[in-house]
Amino acid sequence: MTFSAESYFRSILMFVVGIIAIKVSTGIRQMRRWALYALTFMCLIDIYYYLKSPEKLSLFMVISIVSLFIQSLAAIYFWMIRKKFGN
């Protein structure tokens, strides 16, 4: 089994995104304002990739839509209580 450079790069990129997501979730838990902005940015990137994707009816995309919906609701909730966030 051989791996292409593109699949290797995507694996590394997904690993880095996972580490960033863990850091952002820790920041959200500690009510840090930077984490609120990072969560919003990550949510916007997910929306962009969903709209850009050519596959709209596969099982993966249905799971992606549900995940995007939950993430968007969380971002909206955190923006509603943003005055509680510190530096």
Q: What pTM was computed for the model? A: 0.74
Q: Where are the domains of the chain?
A: 5-84
Residues 46-72: tens digit of each pLDDT: 888 777 776 666 777 778 788 888 988
Give the pLDDT confidence score for residue 63 in this predicted structure: 82
What mean pLDDT value characterizes the chain? 85
State how far the Cα of 55 lies from the Cα of 74, in Å rounded to an integer.
25
